[in-house]
Amino acid sequence: MTFGWYLNPMGRKLRLARWAFAVVLVLGGVARFGDGLRGIVGGLLFVAAGGVLLNPVRKYIWSLDRNPRADEEKLRGPVMAIVFLLLFLSGSYLLPPAPSDAGSEDTSDVPVATATPIPETAEPLRSTVTPTESPTPPPTAVPTPTATPTPTATPTATPTPEPETKIAFIHADADGNDNENPNGEYVVIEHEGPTVDLSGWQLSDEAGHTYTIPDGVTLSDGEQLYIYTGSGEDTATELYWGSETAIWNNGGDTATLVDADGDVVDRYTYP
């Protein structure tokens, strides 16, 4: 029976188809189960399964007539149906699985490195503090500045006038002969202000004739002192030079009054 199967032309075609299909199944097993021994064993399992499916066909062919042409025509349809059925059933193993959207594939045998999660330091929550509205202090009344009183002007003290002692008048032209009437000549000295002490003061003319006022002579405010050229008895307001001749020139002369320190107090010139 087996020998007849090999001599049958249809059987030879099926045998070639079976071997070709076996090779396809082995490749499918390798593609399905991976390279190496595991893929080859899977392919052989597919070949065994294919042989089981083809045995009924082989027996059916053997029972047919010995007309190879007729047998070929009768078996073309069933054999092609079984071949396409086996190809259809093993198609998912011959082609590599299509990648899924998630990009997943069989990685059961490949260790996958697991990324160690890096702990993130939680940022501390910042509490938002709503500022409390400070109460507005009541407005403080601004004191009205007190007007600074205008300082009263200090009255200016009236300066005390310095004592003024001066030569008020000179009577140079005596009655008659001047040398015979020396007391006809005289000089008037007047004073304004506080009492002044005339002790040691001197009266002189341009020719250098000089008279020194004796000690103790004073003049009060508004008083006058007469100094005569001739001789006589001195009083508080009248003094005598003691000259025997005239001193003051009738044609003009200058009288000078100095104090006890030699400072000029007054100078009087007449024509």
Nearest 5°: the CA angle 119, 120, 124 is 135
pLDDT tens per residue, the chain (271 residues)?
Answer: 444 444 456 556 666 766 776 677 667 666 666 666 666 666 666 666 666 666 665 666 556 545 555 555 555 566 666 655 655 555 544 445 444 444 445 545 555 556 566 656 555 555 555 656 666 666 666 667 676 767 676 666 665 556 699 999 999 999 999 999 999 999 999 999 999 999 999 999 999 999 999 999 999 999 999 999 999 999 999 999 999 999 999 999 999 999 999 999 999 999 9
Integer Cα distance of 91 and 98 in angstroms: 13
Helix (H, G, I), strand (E, B) or coil at 95: coil
In terms of DSSP H, where are the helices of the chain? 2-7, 9-33, 37-62, 68-94
Tell me which long-range contacts 135-138 makes (C-beta under 8 A, separation of at least 24). Answer: none
Rg (CA), the chain: 85
The predicted pLDDT at position 1 comes to: 44
Distance of alpha carbon 143 from alpha carbon 76, whole angstroms: 127
Q: Indicate the DSSP class of residue 146.
A: P
Q: What are 249's strand-pairing partners?
A: none
- The full set of domain ranges for the chain reads 16-64, 164-270
- Cα 51 to chain centroid distance, Å, stands at 96
Q: What is the pLDDT of residues 22-74, one digit of tens each?
A: 677 667 666 666 666 666 666 666 666 666 666 665 666 556 545 555 555 55
pLDDT at 150: 73
Residue 242, pLDDT score: 96
DSSP state of 184: G
Q: What's domain 164-270's architecture?
A: Sandwich (2.60)
- Dihedral of the CA atoms 161, 162, 163, 164 (nearest 10)? -90
Phi then psi dihedrals of residue 157, to 5 deg: -65, 135
What string of H, E and C letters represents the secondary structure of 229-265?
A: CCCCCCCCCEEECCCCCCCCCCCCEEEEEECCCCCEE
